[in-house]
Chains A and B, each alone.
Chain A
Amino acid sequence: MNTMEMLAWVRGPGLALSLSVLVIGVSVRLLEMFLLGRRPDLSEPRVAHSGWYGLRTMVTRSVPPSSCARYRLPAFLAGYAFHIGLFLIVFFFVPHILLIEAITGFSWTGLNAWLIDGVTLITLMALLLVFWYRISDPVRRFLSNFNDWYALLVTFLPVLSGYLAYHRLLLDYNTLLVIHILSVELLLVSLPFTKLMHAFTLWFSRWYNGQMAGRKGVKA
């Protein structure tokens, strides 16, 4: 198999296969969780519309609470930086938008390539910083298991390979493109079965926490 054949495979069947695994995995896991249902809460609700508290928590838990910032500011910022960075790279780099458009039919304006380039560099550094904190701090290291290291790695690889491909560093461009797309496909198939699933469960769980606390009259 030469590079062009590999490229054709990862762009075509490889992508279709990994997207299928992603879709099956995510729908199974979400349905499994939702169908489990919730234990009936027999107590008297303290507020009239606890759903609003859920919505509020979706917002409040997403903005940085000032108390956290005091503790290791760089790690805190790195967390935000790489999440926002990933979002911008995935959804606002023009070649990515064109891929999404080809599959779903939806499209929107992208950001300048040089801007995405800068964002990518920041994201890479933020991910490295996050890795460094996890490995250098004995407590975090003790608490980390395979799932944590793996999730970090499969998130890091597509960003790194994409950056190298864009700048044509180290290897030939088409080889880098194959590696980049393969690493994305690894991320796609890993997503439903690792803690990366939070990309989908995040808003539900935030709403759930807020709604529950609201119902009990807790100021959350």
Chain B
Amino acid sequence: MDDEPTLTQRLRQQGISRRSFLKYCAGLASMMALPPALAPKIAEALERARRPAVIWLSFQECTACTESLTRSFSPTIENLIFNVISLDYHHTLQAASGTHAEEARRQSMAQNKGRYILVVDGSIPVRDGGVYSTIAGISNLDMLRETAADAAAIVSVGTCASYGGLPHARPNPTGAVPVSEILPERTIVHVPGCPPIPVVISGVIAHVLTFGKLPELDDIGRPKMFYGQTIHDRCYRRPFYDRNLFAESFDDEGARQGWCLYKLGCKGPTTRNACATEKWNQGTSFPIQSGHPCLGCSEPDFWDAGSFYQALTAPPVDVSKWVAPAVATGVVAGAAIGLANRLRRAKAARARQPLTADDVKTED
């Protein structure tokens, strides 16, 4: 391992200068809300890091998480993370296939027992014994349990691995669940997003390598440093929201003026992610900037939270289905009580024995 080229050398081979590496580290530092003075420390730590083995398991997923990480830049700076880690197993990226591939996984697990990082993308189908997704004849469920047992840290990349994502959406025919449901006893870092922002994926790995521990997580397992703020908090269209200037359709004057997309279904106010600050495609843009409302893809069950194009306040269920029978019930019950009251009054009137002046007199 000693004669392996250093990270800087490897990066240079790929045409990435030390300057841009340092810039990347400074970017990471600012993203993690660390003082800029720590950037060289991150660079140093990454350079010195012993290449940890990473096993990447892809289950019920669409490969966008991997695409996001590998194709974001050209040459990809996120890719540098692959220079720091030893990616021993990744269905999509590895050259080996079939039994060789499985052999590579088992070998890495044995050699790096208790030290490797397990990355998972995709959800795990558990219905009918997990038969709905298998790799080399092994169900996702078994492969996850086996590989997780000796992993030092587990990272769920993407909303599917973190919260179930699309496969978990109603009616969830395969019984898909997130990693955390299979391994409730483990601390799992969730890096949700459909897909997650590349720098967030690599940032989490960089954090583990730099500080030797997992970043601080929020109540649903997301690193607070990347998911600390909502899209709405940092959205550049926010002044329009505050001034009541909304696009009412995708091609009206408001849309052309770049007004707030709340009425078109924007879920920015309830969504925590870094899109509004980090953006996509080398910081070019993000959905709201391209005129599309935020779908809330980094939140659990965003597929089932009502229409993407209905305002956030619109209820996700058809309320009228409940209210119509309620009106009928109310009217019938009210009429029944009203009639009962009338009957009682009529009965009381019939039973009434009028008191006359004569009755009073006979009493003296």
Interface residues, chain A, with chain B CB atoms under 8 Å away: 2-5, 7-8, 11-13, 15-17, 19-21, 23-32, 34-37, 94-96, 98-99, 101-103, 110-114, 168, 173-174, 177
Contact = CB atoms under 8 A, between A and B. Distances in A.
A28 B322 contact: no
A99 B262 CA distance: 12
B333 A24 contact: yes
B323 A19 contact: yes
Interface in B349-364: none
B338 A34 contact: yes
B315 interface: yes
A168 B305 CA distance: 22
Contacts of A36: 338, 341-342
A25 B323 CA distance: 12
B283 interface: no
B323 A23 contact: yes
A109 to B, nearest CB: 9
A90 B274 CA distance: 32
Interface stretch (B15-23, B46-54, B89-97, B306-314): B306-314
Given A16-B322, A26-B330, A177-B270, A113 B338 contact: no
A114 B317 CA distance: 30
Which 7 pairs of residues, A with B, have the shortest CB-CB distance?
Answer: A35-B338, A31-B334, A27-B330, A102-B314, A20-B326, A98-B311, A16-B322
Contact of A15 (B299, B319, B321): B319
Interface in B224-255: 230, 233, 241-244, 246
Nearest to B245: A112
A94 B220 contact: no
Nearest to A3: B219
A32 B338 contact: yes
A11 B269 CA distance: 15
Contacts of B246: 94
A2 B219 contact: yes
A23 B312 contact: no
A103 B306 CA distance: 13
A26 to B, nearest CB: 7
B330 A23 contact: yes
B263 interface: yes
Given A95-B312, A173-B230, A112 B337 contact: no
B327 interface: yes
Contacts, number: 136
B165 to A, nearest CB: 13
Interface in B256-308: 262-263, 269-270, 299-301, 304-306
Contacts of B244: 94, 110-113
B339 interface: yes
B246 to A, nearest CB: 7
A103 B314 CA distance: 8
B329 interface: yes
A173 B269 contact: yes
A32 B300 CA distance: 45
A8 B311 contact: no
B331 interface: yes
B326 A168 contact: no
A113 B242 CA distance: 5
A47 B231 CA distance: 65
A53 B263 CA distance: 44
22 contacts: A2-B219, A2-B220, A4-B301, A5-B300, A12-B315, A12-B316, A16-B317, A17-B322, A19-B322, A20-B325, A21-B326, A24-B333, A26-B330, A32-B334, A32-B337, A32-B341, A35-B335, A94-B262, A99-B313, A101-B314, A102-B315, A112-B244
Given A4-B300, A5-B300, A113-B244, A27 B315 contact: no
Nearest to B296: A4
B99 interface: no
Contact of A99 (B315, B317, B323, B331): B315
Contacts of B74: none
A35 B342 CA distance: 8
Nearest to B304: A8
Nearest to B345: A36
